[in-house]
């Protein structure tokens, strides 16, 4: 009986995760207290590596559970304290509110976004123009909205298109509900078109995902770590955009040029065209939906467009904190769309809350890093360089880690440590501002290399559309490779060559102003 109960507990532990993964986590939990009793510094670094492992293995098991177990144990053995973790959460409260309220708010604007992207695919017949439109639209939306939300909308659009053609190719009507995960019902003539259509949608999905990275790096709300950096530096929405522009604008231009080259050459499986038969079916469906759209549905779209304007204006003028603007979007969008039931509201929060919980665990690990002084040698080594070389080293240090780990975690760690260096008098405030730019761009740009580095990529990989489009981990890495190379190199060159001079010019033009040390929030002050 005892053996069977132990077996049952083991099977329940981390659910369907692979057996080797479960044993690895258990081994981590056993080894950490032993290491901490021998050498706290080594134990701290071991915990960080273990945590990065859970992030890298996100497809095997969501990192909240194994990462949370490691953090709970770390607190019990004395690596950090609940009060320090709570402090880290408190100073990053605005980030948590962004995730909770902004993502939920945009959930109620999906109808508008779906409408716009659908029209885009139907009306724009040139594949190059369409690809540029998708990457530009994703970048623009991600500059004001959460990247996950933008990708979720694009996935919904792609999934909708795929199911429409799959129905017709299987001899069904628009309103029927067949199994689009199986190709058994697809007639022979439609199979080739279906494969071409899959390649076409894969192209658009990847362009869009890269677009979220290009736009997300530009503004303080584009990615959660951006807000952490902006908060610690004391920058508002406009100042953040201007300070990042010397790096982000060249990267954006070269990102679009990369799209042009890929679509023209067909390298890395890009350049797939939309089959004429599929276009005809999608156009027919679009007409069908336009005719059936009621006045109430049209009114919803108009109201959502107006709320979108309010969102952009509210963020750009910094009328309120980002989380509160997100909350206002929820109130406006639901009240004007007739969503008044509690359960209907609840669905909007499902997407954001798991990551919000994971982010709290991030902050706990950051507390461990601070208490154990783990990054002090790395920070001191990087700070030993001067001028442009110093910024480049920060960019590279962030970039390498962001390729395999979550960029929110990486950005949080580095900006916290640099803030501590500022308050200890190791660097000047102007130096700090330059390093913050290098940290933000280094965290965001190289991270497109793998799904582990970009939450939007990981979200796409784990979504329902990935198996339908034959979008595997390896294929995503391969299709992202040209973008990874271009974005990383251009970002590096812009940081090394133009950032210092352009920032000085911005000061001279009074577009930005010098800050004092006290302007930095300082998440790394003594506890």
491-501 pLDDT, tens digit each: 999 998 888 89
**What backbone phi and psi angles, to 5 degrees, belong to 291?**
-65, -35
Confidence of residue 3 (pLDDT cuts 50, 70, 90): low
Q: Tell me what the mean pLDDT of segment 399-403 comes to.
A: 80
Confidence of residue 1 (pLDDT cuts 50, 70, 90): very low
Task: Residue 382: name the closest of 426, 447, 412, 430 by CA.
Answer: 426
Q: What is the DSSP string of 84-142?
A: HHHHHHHHTHHHHHIIIIIHHHHHTTHHHHHHHHHHHHHH---HHHHHHHHHHHHHHHH
Confidence of residue 91 (pLDDT cuts 50, 70, 90): confident
Higher per-residue confidence, 121 vs 20: 20
Q: Tell me what the mean pLDDT of segment 279-288 comes to.
A: 81
Q: Tell me what the mean pLDDT of segment 272-284 comes to.
A: 84
155-197 pLDDT, tens digit each: 878 887 888 777 776 655 555 555 555 555 455 555 677 888 8
Which pLDDT value is given to residue 526?
A: 36
452 to 26, 59, 201, 477, 518: CA distances (angstroms): 23, 9, 22, 10, 35
Instruction: Return the exposure string of 297-309: e unless at least 16 CB atoms fall within 10 Å of the residue's CB, then b.
Output: eeebbebbeebbe
Which pLDDT value is given to residue 363?
A: 86
Q: Tell me what the mean pLDDT of segment 55-65 comes to.
A: 83
Query: Is residue 396 within 8 Å of residue 136, measured between CB atoms?
Result: no
Query: Is residue 456 within 8 Å of residue 192, measured between CB atoms?
Result: no
Which pLDDT value is given to residue 525?
A: 39
Q: What percent of the chain has pLDDT over 90?
A: 32
Higher per-residue confidence, 68 vs 373: 68
Which pLDDT value is given to residue 266?
A: 92
Which pLDDT value is given to residue 522?
A: 45
403-433 pLDDT, tens digit each: 766 677 788 888 888 888 888 888 889 989 9
104-159 pLDDT, tens digit each: 887 788 778 778 877 888 888 899 999 999 999 899 988 887 677 778 778 878 88
Which three-class secondary structure string do you get for 334-378? HHCCCCCCHHHHHHHHCCCHHHHHHHHHHHHHHHHHHHHCCCHHH
Which pLDDT value is given to residue 524?
A: 40
Distance between CA atoms of residues 190 and 194, nearest Å: 6
Among 147-151, 302-306, 502-506, the minimum mean pLDDT is found in 147-151
For the chain, what is the mean pLDDT?
84
Q: Tell me what the mean pLDDT of segment 240-264 comes to.
A: 95
């Amino acid at each position: 009986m005892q053996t069977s109960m132990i077996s049952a507990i083991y099977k329940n532990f981390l659910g369907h995760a692979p057996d080797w993964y479960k044993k690895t986590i258990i081994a981590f939990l056993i080894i950490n207290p032993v290491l901490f009793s021998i050498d706290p510094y080594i134990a701290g670094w071991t915990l960080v590596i273990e945590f990065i492992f859970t992030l890298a293995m996100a497809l095997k098991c969501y990192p909240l559970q194994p990462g949370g177990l490691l953090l709970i144990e770390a607190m019990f053995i004395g690596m950090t304290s609940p009060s320090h973790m709570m402090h880290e959460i408190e100073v990053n409260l605005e980030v948590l509110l962004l995730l909770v309220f902004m993502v939920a708010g945009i959930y109620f604007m999906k109808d508008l976004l779906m409408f716009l992207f659908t029209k885009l695919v139907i009306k724009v017949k040139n594949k190059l123009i369409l690809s540029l439109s998708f990457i530009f639209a994703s970048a623009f939306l991600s500059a004001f909205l959460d990247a996950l939300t933008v990708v979720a909308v694009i996935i919904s659009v792609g999934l909708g298109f795929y199911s429409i053609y799959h129905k017709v190719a299987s001899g069904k009507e628009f309103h029927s509900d067949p199994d689009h995960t199986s190709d058994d019902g697809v007639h022979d003539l439609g199979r080739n078109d279906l494969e071409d259509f899959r390649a076409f949608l894969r192209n658009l999905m990847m362009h869009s995902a890269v677009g979220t990275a290009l736009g997300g790096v530009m503004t303080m709300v584009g990615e959660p770590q951006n807000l952490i950096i902006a908060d610690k530096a004391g920058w508002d929405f406009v100042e953040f955009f201007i300070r990042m522009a010397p790096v982000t604008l060249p990267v954006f231009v070269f990102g679009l040029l990369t799209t042009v080259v890929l679509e023209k050459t067909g390298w890395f499986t890009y350049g797939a065209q939309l089959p004429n038969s599929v276009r005809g079916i999608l156009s027919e469906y679009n007409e069908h939906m336009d005719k059936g759209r009621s006045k109430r549905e049209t009114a919803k779209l108009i109201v959502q467009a107006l709320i979108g304007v309010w969102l952009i204006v509210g963020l750009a003028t910094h009328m309120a904190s980002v989380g509160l603007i997100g909350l206002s979007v929820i109130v406006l969008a639901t009240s004007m769309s007739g969503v008044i039931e509690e359960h209907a509201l609840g669905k909007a929060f499902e997407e954001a809350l798991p990551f919000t919980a994971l982010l709290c665990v991030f902050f706990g690990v950051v507390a461990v890093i601070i208490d154990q002084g783990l990054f002090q040698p790395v920070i001191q080594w990087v700070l030993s360089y001067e001028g442009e070389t110093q910024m480049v080293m920060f960019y590279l240090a962030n970039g390498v880690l962001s390729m395999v780990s979550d960029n929110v975690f990486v950005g949080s760690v580095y900006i916290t440590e640099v803030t501590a260096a500022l308050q200890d008098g190791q660097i000047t405030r102007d130096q700090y501002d330059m390093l913050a730019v290098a940290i933000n761009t280094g965290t965001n740009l190289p991270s497109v290399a793998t799904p582990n580095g970009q939450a939007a990529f990981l979200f796409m990989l784990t979504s329902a559309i990935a198996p339908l489009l034959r979008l595997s981990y390896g294929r995503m890495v391969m299709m992202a490779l040209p973008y990874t190379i271009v974005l990383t190199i251009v970002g590096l060159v812009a940081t090394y060559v133009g950032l210092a001079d352009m920032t000085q010019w911005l000061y001279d033009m009074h577009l930005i102003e010098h800050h004092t040390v006290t302007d930095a929030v300082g998440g790394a002050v003594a506890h």
